[in-house]
A and B are shown apart, each in its own frame.
Chain A
Amino acid sequence: MMTKKKLQVETIIITSKANSFLNVNEILKYRDLIFLLVSRDFKVFYKQTILGPFWYILQPLLNSAVFTVIFGKIASMPTDEIPPFIFYMSGTILWSYFSSSMMSISQVFTTNKDLFSKVYFPRLAVPIANVIINYLQFFIQFVILILFIIYFYFNGSSFSLDIKLLLIPLLLLQLSLISIGFGCLFASITYKYKDLALLLGFGMQLWMFVSPVIYPMSMISDKYIYFYILNPVSSIIENFRYVLFSNSDFNLGLTLLSLFFSIIIFIFGLYIFNKVEKKFMDTI
Chain B
Amino acid sequence: MRYVIEIKNLSKEYQLGIIGRDTFYRDFQSLIAKIFKKDDPNSPLSGTIPNDNSNKFLALNKINLDVNQGDIIGIIGKNGAGKSTLLKVLSRITSPTEGSIKITGKIASLLEVGTGFHGELTGRENIYLNGAINGMSVSSVEKQLDNIVKFSGILMQHIDTPVKRYSSGMIVKLGFSIAAFLDYDILICDEVLAVGDQEFQNKAINKVKEINSNSNRTVLFVSHNMDSILKICTKVVIINNGMIAHQGSTKEMVERYTNSRSYFKNYYENRWSNNSPQTDSIKLISISSKNNIGEKLKDFDITDEILIDIEFQILKNDKNFCTNLHFYRNNNFFFQTFDESIHVEWENQKSKNIGRYKQTCKIPPYTFDVGHIDINILIFNPPGDIDSSNQIMEPKGSTGALSLEIIESKKINHTRGTYPFAWAKDSLTRPICKWITKLEDEK
Contacts and interface: CB of A to CB of B under 8 A. Distances in A.
Interface of A: 1-3, 9-16, 18, 29-30, 32-33, 35-37, 39-40, 43-44, 47-48, 114-121, 189, 192-193, 195-196, 278-279, 281-283
Closest 9 CB pairs of A and B: A193-B24, A33-B132, A120-B92, A14-B101, A118-B115, A278-B95, A12-B103, A15-B100, A281-B94
A30 B214 CA distance: 27
A32 B132 contact: yes
B215 A3 contact: yes
Given A10-B104, A36-B129, A195-B23, A119 B109 contact: yes
Given A14-B90, A16-B96, 14 more contacts: A9-B105, A13-B103, A14-B102, A14-B103, A16-B98, A16-B99, A30-B135, A33-B132, A36-B128, A37-B129, A47-B120, A118-B116, A120-B92, A283-B20
A203 to B, nearest CB: 13
Nearest to B211: A1
Contact of B91 (A1, A35, A47, A120): A120
B134 interface: yes
A14 B102 CA distance: 6
Contacts of B132: 30, 32-33, 35-36
B356 interface: no
Contacts of A47: 120, 162
Contact of B95 (A16, A121, A193, A283): A16
A202 B35 CA distance: 29
A171 B214 CA distance: 52
B111 A40 contact: no
Contact of A13 (B101, B129, B135): B101
B341 interface: no
B120 A44 contact: yes
B105 A10 contact: yes
B214 A114 contact: no
29 contacts: A1-B211, A9-B104, A11-B102, A12-B107, A13-B102, A13-B103, A14-B90, A14-B92, A15-B95, A15-B100, A16-B96, A30-B132, A30-B135, A32-B136, A39-B125, A44-B120, A48-B120, A115-B116, A117-B93, A118-B93, A119-B91, A121-B133, A121-B134, A192-B20, A278-B94, A279-B95, A281-B93, A281-B94, A282-B14
B246 to A, nearest CB: 24
A9 B218 CA distance: 14
Given A33-B132, A279-B95, A1 B215 contact: yes
Contacts of A189: 24
Contacts of B93: 116-120, 281
B202 interface: no
A119 B23 contact: no
B138 A36 contact: yes
B186 to A, nearest CB: 10
Contacts of A118: 93, 111-112, 115-116
A4 to B, nearest CB: 10
Contacts of A30: 132, 135
A209 B170 CA distance: 51
- Give the size range of B's interface with the partner: 35 or more
Contacts of B136: 32
A40 B105 contact: no
Nearest to B7: A14
Contacts of A29: 135
B100 A119 contact: no
Nearest to A195: B23
Contacts of A193: 23-24, 27
B127 to A, nearest CB: 10
A14 B104 contact: no
Interface in B188-231: 210-211, 214-215
B115 A114 contact: yes
Nearest to B117: A115
B163 to A, nearest CB: 12
B95 A14 contact: yes
A120 B133 CA distance: 8
B330 interface: no
Contacts of A39: 125
Contacts of B154: none
B121 interface: yes
Nearest to B14: A282
B84 to A, nearest CB: 11
A171 B134 CA distance: 33
Nearest to A46: B120
B69 to A, nearest CB: 11
Name which of B129, B136, B214 has the most chain A CB atoms within 10 A of its CB.
Answer: B129
B83 to A, nearest CB: 15
A178 B258 CA distance: 57
A158 B260 CA distance: 89
B272 to A, nearest CB: 36
A33 B133 contact: yes
Contacts of B121: 40, 43-44
A121 B93 CA distance: 9
B429 interface: no
A280 to B, nearest CB: 9
A196 B94 contact: no
A258 B135 CA distance: 36
B120 A32 contact: no
A40 B129 contact: yes
B332 interface: no
Contact of A32 (B94, B101, B137): B137
B106 interface: yes
Nearest to B6: A13
